[in-house]
Copies of this chain bind each other. A is one copy, B any other.
């Protein structure tokens, strides 16, 4: 009855090497043959390099027969123009960089299409980099992107200090902060009101009657974490309660499912009565927390209400369906791209803008009133 078809370890079946096609006659590789350049094409077509360049960049100004001849030469030789050389001359690149904190978090991948849709209208290519919350890696990516002379960079900074981004911008690179307010508008920014989001979550749990709330937060170096925390605490204060009696906070080193799973262990191991509700920094953390709760056999929302953040695509279908704070991801991406375009243009008249969207509470099955509401 039970399917036992599984392999013990997913191990590679014996790799079966074969003769490389690389050694075929028409193969260019490993033969030390120089890569083709425009002079080869020019020679083959019997024209000058200038003409080849024209064929590539302003075909309308070259005479019909010449055009055809050069195009044929390009085709038969398999010539591919060199982007570095092109760029060196032109000065600017046609790709913009997006540096996200964690590409494994669906929130970011759900923001990307919005960005991509706007930028592809301008024939710009998107280069996606994931810093994995490491400021060093982030710095490395930024350096590379700047060296590549990209016109602009969209970034969700890993750390708190954005001085290096302001410098970057000074040096002529368009910079837009993604999902993060722009410190005193030194930079363009697109964000969702995270304080409000935290407040929404807090209001929701408090109105359900919860008086002990566990908060699986991230490192305070991440701005969003501070803001959502502030919102949560504000909700508690507005309800006339004392934050440090209501909120028990755990700081996760990583904001993914594994982090959430471990964070819940830590939270429940703390002294005092356990919380009746959980607010998670994002849905991936909530996912991990739910996994942990299930293993412990704790009922959700019966023994523990759970609220996530981001409302990623799978949130509505988790078991139980996850109450979350929705962010307008597509619009966020598009607005960011739009802003980057104007910023990268670098018009003297350009003013820094900060576009702030409003989050939205989506109530689902994972949050309900506590079993025995403790007295306020």
B-binding residues in A (CB < 8 A):
1-3, 5-7, 10-13, 15-24, 26-30, 35, 78, 80-88, 91, 93-95, 103-104, 106, 109-110, 112-113, 116, 125-130, 141, 143-144, 146-149, 166-167, 169-172, 185-186, 192-193, 200, 203-204, 207, 257, 284, 287, 290-291, 294, 313-314, 316-321, 326-328, 331, 335, 346-348, 350-363
Q: Taking each of A35, A91, A358, which has the highest tally of chain B beta carbons within 10 Å of its own beta carbon? A: A358
Residues of chain B within 8 A of A326, CB atoms compared: 10
A348–B19 CA distance with the chains assembled, in angstroms: 10
Given the known inter-chain contacts A7-B358, A141-B125, A148-B84, please indicate yes or no for A170 contacting B26, CB distance below 8 A: yes
A327–B7 CA distance with the chains assembled, in angstroms: 11
Interface contact A348-B30, CB-CB below 8 Å: yes
A30-B347, A104-B113 are known; give 16 further A-B pairs, CB within 8 A.
Answer: A5-B204, A7-B358, A10-B357, A15-B353, A17-B353, A22-B169, A29-B346, A84-B88, A88-B88, A104-B110, A106-B106, A109-B109, A127-B128, A128-B129, A314-B318, A317-B319
| Contact pick for A13, options B287, B313, B356, CB 8 Å | B356
Interface contact B104-A18, CB-CB below 8 Å: no
Interface contact A128-B128, CB-CB below 8 Å: yes
A317–B291 CA distance with the chains assembled, in angstroms: 7
| Contact pick for A313, options B2, B30, B185, B287, CB 8 Å | B287
Least Cβ distance of A254 to chain B in Å?
Answer: 12
Instruction: Please list 24 pairs of residues, one from A and one from B, whose beta carbons are closer than 8 Å in the complex, sorted by A's number.
Output: A3-B200, A5-B200, A5-B204, A11-B357, A12-B335, A13-B356, A16-B353, A16-B354, A18-B351, A21-B186, A22-B169, A29-B169, A30-B347, A30-B348, A78-B171, A82-B88, A83-B149, A104-B113, A106-B106, A116-B130, A125-B141, A127-B128, A128-B129, A314-B314
Residues of chain B within 8 A of A347, CB atoms compared: 30
Residue of B nearest to A190 (CB): B12
A127–B83 CA distance with the chains assembled, in angstroms: 15
Interface contact B291-A355, CB-CB below 8 Å: no
Given the known inter-chain contacts A80-B146, A84-B88, please indicate yes or no for A172 contacting B29, CB distance below 8 A: yes
Interface contact B83-A147, CB-CB below 8 Å: yes
Residue of B nearest to A17 (CB): B351
A81–B84 CA distance with the chains assembled, in angstroms: 13
Given the known inter-chain contacts A103-B128, A203-B5, A291-B317, please indicate yes or no for A80 contacting B357, CB distance below 8 A: no
A147–B319 CA distance with the chains assembled, in angstroms: 47
Interface contact A316-B291, CB-CB below 8 Å: yes
Residues of chain B within 8 A of A26, CB atoms compared: 170
Interface contact A204-B3, CB-CB below 8 Å: yes
A288–B253 CA distance with the chains assembled, in angstroms: 32
Residue of B nearest to A103 (CB): B109
A313–B170 CA distance with the chains assembled, in angstroms: 41
Interface contact B109-A27, CB-CB below 8 Å: no
Least Cβ distance of A151 to chain B in Å?
Answer: 11
